[in-house]
Structure 1
C-alpha cells in the first residue's frame, strides 16, 4: 500500500449536520481526523453570502470544503476562493443522489460523465495549491459498478487527481429517496478494495455503512483511509477514541472533557447571537450508553429552546448525567456489599 498524506480517518460531509458548530464540536473529540463541510454548490459560493457559507473557526483544521457543481470554470473559481478562506482540501461531490443535485446535473449524476468530472478536477487543481479530491459512488442506476468506478477514477487520474473517497454503494437516481440511497443499495466493499489493488499509487478511502471503529480498522487493511458519517454524528463519543486508534495519541478524550473544551466556543457563539439549539443539536448522542443519556438529550432539546437559554442548560444536562452515574455506582456498591455479607454468613455457618 502506497504512502499517502490523506488522514486514515475522516468524518463525512452530511447535509444539515456537519455545519461549523458540529465541526467545532467534533474537533474537541479528535485533533487529527479530517472534517468536511456540508456540500456547498459552486453557484452559491460564487453568488452567495460567503461568510455564511464558508466561514469557519480556526479550531476546525484540518477541514475540507465539499463543492457541488459541474462547470469547470465555476469550480475552479470556487477552489481558488476555498484556498483564500483557508480550507485544507477541496472536494467534489460525485455521490449525492438528491433531486436537488439531479436538477443541477451534478452530484451522483456525474458518475455518468467521467470526462466532465476530469475536466472539472483539472480546472480545480490548476486554480489552487490545496489538494483536490473526489467523493463518489461506485455507480448509478443500471451502470456496471466496476466499469463505472474505474472509468471515473482513470479519467480523474489523468487529470492529476490522486485521492478518491468512495461510498461503496450505487446511487439509484429514480425510485429511492436520499435516505433510502444510504441504506438500500447493497454495499460492495470488495470493489473498493479491488480499486486500491489495481491503483496502488492512488490514495483510496472507503465510506458507507461503517458503524464502528473496529470495522474502520478492518477496512484499513485494504485501503488508505476510512470515512464515517452517521455513526460519528449519532454517537460522537466514538470520535474520542480516534486519535489513539488511528493517529498514535496516548489517550482517549471522554465526553465530559470534550464538553469542557467546547465551552469557550459555545460561549463565544452565544455572545454573537447564535441560538443555543443550533449548537446543542449536534451533542444529543454524546452520552449514548451512559446512565442519564435520556435526561441529557431531553434537557438539551427542551431547555435550549426557551427564550434566553444559555450555557447553564449545558451545565444542567451534564449534572443530570453525573447524578445518574453516581446513583448507578451507588447501586453497584450496595450490590457488591450485599454479596460480601452473604458470603460472610455462609462462611460463618
Structure 2
C-alpha cells in the first residue's frame, strides 16, 4: 500500500527527512511517487491503465511521450491529468498550420523604455508542456522542439537559454486526415521516448466515463500529489538503478536486430531511451536493478516509431515482435567464452 493519498498533495520530501543522503530518494519512495500519480490520473482517465503506466514511467525516466490516435479518445485529457498531478508549471501549445517557431520558443521584443531587447519566453518554458496536435504544424515549427527535447534548452537569436527542470513534452498527434497534417520527421520522432495509442474504451469503461462527466468534469477538481522537488529527486534516483553489463548487452542486441532487418533501425538514442525507461520500470516495481523483463515491457513502445521499412518488408511492430522472440536474453558469445575457459 502506498504511503501517498492521491486525493491530497502530500509532500514526499518531508516524509524522508533524516536520511543519510537527503538529496536522493529511496527506490521504494520512487515507486510511491509513481503509484500516487497513477491513482490520481485514474480519477479522470477510465481504463487504459497500461497507457497511464507507460506515461508515468516516461515521466520518471526523463523522456517525452507522443500520444497518437483518432480524435476524442482522451489524449489531451491524459496529458492534462498528468500535468495536474504534479505541482509544476504547465503550458499548452496548440499546433496549427500558421504557428511560427517563435510562438513556441519565444522572441526578443524591443522595449521602448529601456531601449533594449527583452526576451519574452514562449510556452515551451514550462515543466510539463502539452503539444496538442503536433502534426498540424509545418516541419519548420515542429523543428523548434528538437533542441528543447534533446538538450532542455532553446537558442533564440544566438543566445541559449535553459529550460526549467524537470522538462517533459507530452504531445498528441491526429492519426487521421493525412492531407491536412504534416508527417513528423524521423529526427523528431526519435526524440520521443515512447509512442502510445489509447484506442476506444471498453463498453463498461465508457459507461463509467459518461457517469463521471455528468456535471463537473473530474479534471477540474484534480489536485497535485507530487511537488516539483520530489519529482526531480525521483528522476535522479531512477538514474541510480543498476543496469548490469548483460542487461546492456541484451538491449544492444535487440536494437541490432532492428538494424539488420529494416531499412532504418533503432538508433543509439533509442537504445539509451530503452535502458533509461527500463530503469524507471524497475524503480516502479521497487527494485534498484534492471532485469530483462523491464526491457521487454518497454521495447514495444520505445522501438517501433524509430524504425523505417520498405514496402516489401514487414512493418515495424512485426520486426520488434520478432526481435523479442529471436534475440536470446543471454549473449551466446558470452556462453561460448565461459565454455572455453572451463
Higher relative contact order (CA 8 A, sep 6+): 2
Q: Same fold by TM (over 0.5)?
A: no
TM-score, normalised to structure 1's length?
A: 0.31
TM-score, normalised to structure 2's length?
A: 0.32
Return the structure number with greater helix share: 1
